[in-house]
Structure 1
Amino acid sequence: MQSLPLSSSAFDTGRTAEAHVVAERAGGRTILRRQHVGYPLHVTRGFYLDAARPDVLTLYIQSASGGLYAGDRLTLDVDVGTEAALHLTTQAATVVHHGRGGRSMQQLRIRVGPRAFCAISSDPYVLFPGANLALDATAVVGEDAVLLLVDGLAVHDPRCSGHGFAEYVTQQRVMRPDGRLLLLDRGRLAGGQLRNGALGTMAAAASALLVAPRDKLPGILSLTQAADECGCLAGVSEAPNQAGLVVRMLAPDGGVLTRGIEAVFQVAARAALGVEAARRRK
């Protein structure tokens, strides 16, 4: 009898999985209209955590495996309908394992309809030695809609091997429904650059794109103060084409960065929804 290789063996070429989530407004609140989620991804039942805005739907996306492995290719489609309000977050940080000469890829496709609110705020990706991760997000956002998109990384060497991750590559593209490009944000960080001070003394970093009409944007000072109070070092600038704001954060570790991401979500939600959002427990 021939045994099958384990998921961590050198013969595994990685997993391909797709998830599709559709949130729509019905009966005075946002509901999960449709979902199709493949292993290893899992979406929890919907939560309504905000007493002042009971229409806001919160979903946690989880991984049923031990993180991202070499060659994994995961795709998530998120569709938020007219006047719906969705917050999609993770249950914890995601570990990215050694790439073994390959790359893990995660694609995100987002559509935010008229007068809708969509926040996708993932906890940091924890890059183990040899990890090679590419994130690719494309969002189509209505003129009067709000999108908050956050991703970040934290460096971790559990065995103190002295080796860093291989590479972390990101691309975020935001468009209008008519196809007009609002912004294109690209980043690349090689593990070897950390030894040359790419993050200074910090070991974690994140970017947040906040696309919204002017009257739904928070003040720049409120964003920087909220992140700084959590122990992060934050900077905010205006996005191209008056699309909104771009937030960059550095932190000494993943735990501090997670708190900074949560603080940015709180400030953005307050400006967009007009209320204080409840804490998202994890």
Structure 2
Amino acid sequence: MRSLPLSSSAFDSGRSAEAHLAADLAGGRTVLRRQHVGYPFHVTRGFYLDAARPELLTLYLQSASGGLYAGDRLKLDVDVAANAAFHLTTQASTVVHDGREAGTLQQQSITVGPGAFCAIASDPCVLFPGADLCLDTIATVAEDAVLFLADGFAVHDPRQAGRPFASFSSRLRILRPDGRVLLLDRGSIRGNEARAGSLGDMAAAATVVLIAPPDKLPDVGTLGQIVDGFGCLSGASPAPNQAGLVMRILAPDGGTLARGLEAAFHVAGRAALGSDLVRRRK
């Protein structure tokens, strides 16, 4: 989820919003045991799309606002209980507007219980000129659980004025329930660096992190081949501490990147759950 309340006034210091979702396995299906979703967040009813995995709940987290604005602060808290299977995605890409020196912050806190499957696969953010976005995520994952996490961005200048976005940065921490650190990942890129060629001739980038036991991981070569088949340029390597794998993806535009991320989700889902998942309509 990448959207916050409308905050387009030059005198508005930004808005704060939180969403809390707790998924649990009950009666052979994953259900929302608890949810607190205030404006501008909105969740539709849950969808059970996969006949082969009837317990898998897919939820679309939506927003009534027009994107992310200067000074906006968003927090998403997701808790997936033992043996539950939960997929959270967005309805579309979210525009990130000019940060006006205040920037935009999104925080995510994720807990994945024993034997659970959790996929948080947001569509890429669209960075408008002046956008200044920071993603800060902490996830606690049980030893035998699976977490698929994807975040990315695409650059867009709707007026073709040649003005770059300000900055995109990401901080990710993956822990075990006992507090042991599995992975720390930090990165940032400024708009003028991207325009100068840091992304090559690409205009979109993403990171996919897959935390899983070895027997629930896809083949790295197959994963890269499928993602690249959608027009992306990817590279994957084992995550530290034998925690899983990390993939970086470049793409010429946001649409291509979104299709590559969708493909990565399906490859990871098949490896973790043992069956092909149907396409999620948006």
Report the TM-score range of the alignment, normalised by the length of the smaller protein: over 0.9
Partner-residue secondary structure (3-state), 1:197: helix
Give the C-alpha shift of residue 93 in structure 1.
Answer: 0.2
- Tell me the matched-pair count: 277
- State the 4+ residue runs in structure 1 displaced beyond 3 angstroms: none
> Does 2:69 match 1:69?
yes
Secondary structure (helix, strand or coil) at the match of 1:196 reads helix
Q: Tell me the distance in 2 between the aligned counterparts of 1:242 and 1:146.
A: 13
Give the alignment's Cα RMSD to 1 decimal: 0.8
Q: Which residue of 1 aligns with 2:18?
A: 18
The residue that corresponds to 1:219 in the other structure is 219
**Residue 3 (structure 1) aligns with:** none
Question: What pairs up with 1:174-213 in 2 under 5 angstroms?
Answer: 174-213=174-213
2:166 aligned with 1:161 = no
Secondary structure of the corresponding residue to residue 51 of structure 1: coil
Taking the TM superposition and a 5 Å limit, the aligned residue runs for 1:1-282 are 7-282=7-282
Per-residue deviation, 1:38: 1.9
Comparing 31-40 and 109-118, the one that deviates more: 31-40
Quick one: distance in 1 between partners of 2:222 and 2:33?
Answer: 35
Does the residue aligned with 2:260 lie in a helix, a strand or coil? helix
Give the distance between the partners of 2:195 and 2:68, measured in 1 at CA.
24
Residues 7, 70 of structure 2: 8 Å contact kept = no
| Cα deviations by residue, 1:91-118 (Å, 9 ceiling, x for unpaired) | 0001000011111110000000000000
Alignment match, 2:3: none
Consecutive unaligned residues in structure 1, runs of 5 or more: 1-5
Cα offset, 1:7, TM superposition: 3.1
Cα distance between partner residues in 2 of 1:242 and 1:43: 35
Please list the CA deviations of residues 239-275 of structure 1 after superposition, one character each: whole Å capped at 9, or x if unmatched: 0000000011000000000000000000000000000
> Quick one: distance in 2 between partners of 1:115 and 1:182?
18
Gaps of at least 5 residues in structure 2 are 1-5
TM-score for both structures, normalised by structure 2: 0.97
Instruction: Report SS of the residue matched to 2:262.
Output: helix
Q: TM-score, normalised by structure 1?
A: 0.97
- 2:272 and 2:76 map into 1 onto residues whose CA distance is 24
What's the offset of the Cα at 1:196?
2.0
Counterparts of 1:65 and 1:266 in 2: how far apart (Å)? 29
CA distance in 1, matches of 2:83, 2:57: 12
3-state SS of paired residue (2:257): helix
2: CA distance, partners of 1:240 / 1:111: 19
Distance in 1 separating the partners of 2:132 and 2:184: 22
Distance in structure 2 (CA, Å) of the matches to 1:218 and 1:65: 37
CA-to-aligned-CA distance 1:41-86 (integer Å, 9 cap, x gap): 2122100000110110000111110010110000000000000000
SS in 2 for 1:36: strand
User: Which one is further off, 32-41 or 11-20?
Assistant: 32-41
Give per-residue Cα distances to partners, 1:120-169, cap 9 Å, x unaligned: 00000000000000000000000000000000000000000100000001
Q: In structure 1, what is the Cα distance between the partners aligned to 2:62 and 2:234?
A: 28
Question: Contact conserved, 2:126 with 2:153, CA < 8 A, in 1?
Answer: yes
SS in 2 for 1:147: strand
Aligned equivalents of 1:278, 1:133: Cα separation in 2? 32
Q: C-alpha deviations, 1:167-204, integer Å up to 9, x for none? A: 00101100000000000010101000012211000000
* Secondary structure at 2:19 match in 1: strand
Letter of the 1:53 counterpart: R
